[in-house]
Each structure stands twice: as C-alpha cells, then as structure tokens.
Structure 1
Amino acid sequence: MGKGKNRFIWIAAAMLSAILVYGLYLVQLRSIERQHAVQVLVPKRFIAAGERIEAQDLGLQTIPSGAFAQDMMSEPSLAAGQEAVVPLGQGEPLRDWKLDSYRLLPARSESTFQLPREYVLSVSSGIRAGDRVVLYASGAASASVRLFADPVVVASVKTSGNQEIDDLDNPNLLSLAEGNRQKMYASRRDANGLIEFVNLNLTEEQWLRIDELCKGGEVKLVIAYSADSLDIADAGTGAAP
C-alpha cells in the first residue's frame, strides 16, 4: 500500500513538473514572439483604387518580424489623406508604393509639360485628366514609332479658353476614383469641348526627346488613349480586364 502511494505521488510530481516546464516554455515562446513581432498599418475595409484614405480606415496589426518588408507602413499620419494607387484588401499590410498623395501631380522624377500645339498631329478625343496615354512620333520622312515603352499620365486637357474638358454632372475623375467603367465612358461621351492643350507628366529625358523630335516641324505627336486607364477602373471594381 505504501509503495503504491509513493508511486502515485512520484507520477503526480512528474506530471506537475512537466506541466510547469511546458508552461514556462509557452511563456518564453510568447515573449520571444513579442520581441520579434512588429506592428504595421492595415486597412479596416476594402479600399478601391483612387479612393482617398481616411484615418478611421486604418488600424494596426501585429506580424512576425520575418514577414516585415521595408516598404510596409506603421505611422497612420503618413497614410491618412493619401489615395490608393491599387485596390487595398482588408487586413492587408499597407505598402508605401500603393499610395500617392496627388495622382495628377508629377512623380518625384517628373514635371508637368504642356505640349505646344505645333508638336501635336492628333489627340484622342476621349482622353481626360488622370488617363494614361501612349505617344507616337509620326513624320513624312520616316516610319511612325512609339516613343516610350510605358504610357504617361495626363495631368489635364483643356480647351482654347483654358477650360478643363469634362462632364460637370458626371466628372471623369470621380468615376475613375470609384472604379466605375460605365460612368467613365458616359463622362467621355457627354463632355463637350475641343482639346487644344494637353499637359503630360514626363521625366526630363522624355520631354527632351519629344522636343528634339518635334521642334523642327517634320515630326509630330499622335496621342492615343491607353487601355491602362480602364484597367485602373476594373481594378477598383474587381472586374476582369
């Protein structure tokens, strides 16, 4: 009887010791995880491309330090007020390249250039501010060529009276921000005005190339609307391109 009781006490002590060791292991593991975890900004809801982000749309989420990337954001003040360049999923770590303060303003390496009218042979009548366009060089003495591999952003399109071309009842930029392809089309259809001035966001190298080609008058630009602008709208709604 005494041996059985001693054996039971020994087993109970061993089990209690194992539980204590495991508990200590869990405490240490959680402490290590806390030391190697970081907090990053995440949207509290889905945010469509072009939508302006408010402070109440953002929250903090803890992730392992191994999953942290240098472009992830952690300061709400740096993200609030900016626009989403691409759709942002709920709970998705926020990266600085997915945000832009003013999408119609030139990027850090760009400037906004107004194309001289004598440089332009034709302009797609449907282009609006915020669109992406493809530039072609056309001349009688040489074959037409595409100037740049990537489309460039239209800062503004204006009439001869310096009025922005748009549908006042259904602004194109609002439709673009909402990701509404149908409203974008309707805005282009209903807007009135002949495009006289086109302002593009270009790098210095791009502008110098345009100026070198066109200043002699033998080569002119053809400005074509790019499907990339519709891709932005489709991304906002989640529709397939």
Structure 2
Amino acid sequence: MSSAFELTRVSVVRPGKILLNNISWSVEAGERWVILGPNGAGKTTLMQVVGATMFPSSGAADVLGRRLGSVDVFDLRTRIGQTSTAIAERIPPHETVRDAVMSAAYAVLGRWREQYDDEDEARAEQIMGELGVARLADRKFGTLSEGERKRTLIARALMTDPELLLLDEPGAGLDLGAREDLLASLEVLSEADGSPVLVMVSHHVEEIPRGFTHVLMLRDGKVVAQGPLAETLTAQALGRTFGMRLELSVDGGRYGARRAAYGHRADLPGR
C-alpha cells in the first residue's frame, strides 16, 4: 500500500450548507497527519469520508485502494480503526475495559455471545499494556476518567490491526496530566514499527504529538494549507485558519500558539 487514501475534488453538501468544498488530499503510507481548524470547519465530516461512513456529494474518494461508491464499505471499515465521542457513548457503562477492547474483533459494542480465542485475549492484553490501560482491564468503562476512556478507545481501535487509524479530537475534555499521558501514548504509537497510518483531528497545536509528519488546515469546509508539518504550520497559515492574529512557538518538537500582542500582524483570510 503506497497511498492510504486519496480525495479528489471532494465536496459534501447538505440542504443549505456546504460541509466540504472541493477538497483534494492524498496521504501516503508511513505518514502521520493532524487536521486543525475551528468549530464548523468540516473536520469531522472529512474524517467520516475517510472512514467510509459518509459518501461525497461530488468528487472521488479512494480509501485503502477502494473507491467509495463501488466497494462494500462494511468490509472496508474493518481495515480502519476509529475513535470518537460517538463511539464512547455507545459502549455500555457496565462493560469492562478488557471486553470493550476485545469486542472490536467482532465489530460490536457490548459483549454478548461472541466466542473469543486465546489469540484475541493475548492481542487485547498486549495493546492494553502498550496504551497503559492494562491495570484497568477489569474496571467498568463507565467508571473511567476521561483520559482513561480515550486510551481505552485507542486500544479498541487497534484491536483489529487496522491499516488506517482515525482519531477524532482525542484530547477533548482532558486535563493537563491526562492530555500529556495521551500524547505520550500517541508518540510511542507514531514511532512504532508497523503502526497504521495516523490521522488526528484537533483544535489545538499543543495537542500535536511528536513524530507527526504532516498537517492539513481547514476553514469553512476549504483547505487553507496542507503539507509537511515543519514547513506548513506557520503563524500566518494558522492565523488564516482560525481568523485571528497568532504567534506560534515550537520547543522540543511541541507546538504552542497564542493571540499576537497588539501591533503584531498575521495574514488573515482575505489579506
């Protein structure tokens, strides 16, 4: 697999609203992307197209070598790991962490009468250990902290050894300590041999893990900028994305942003 997915002039239109407008985007094997943008920019819609849960209104979307609209999406989705608030809300609160992770092997939420073999259990234990949730294996999902839930969801998404992993705002709602724990896990994952292609949505540059390679910035359903992280993530591009003058800093591979002091300038939309 050379190209994980390729979108060509993709638009998603709903009555009275253009959610995505003429998006072209190609992601290659081995790349780790972050999608940045304000609320309503189209980030989640874009992830739904890439995750084969939404079809474009126009344009072409090729995911893992298959064209949406001419492939069995249920089979395709088994090759894609996803985390989101919507998935978390569907996990029964009484489900143990071990079962929440292991049940991904059957693509179900809530263990029922599935039969798991020793290989499934070993795989779940391995992933939980790598994500730092092995000690929580017998805890009920409903008793977990927000950070523990996020790491459990990533472990679940990795259970089927996906070729593509989509993380929709994994840092949302986390306190500083939980966010740093999550980023540490993502940094290990991004650098591990055999890891899937990673795509993560965020509002905040502070949540970009070390090891991520590329960025795509969205505003009003359109691409503001995309490309290698070190070259593309600039104060000017970030300012255009969020509609304000911003200062950008980087220290030890981690980014930070704040509103520019009075008198400073950053390119905004229309400049």
Larger Cα Rg: Structure 1 or Structure 2?
1
TM-score, normalised on structure 2?
0.24
TM-score, normalised on structure 1?
0.26
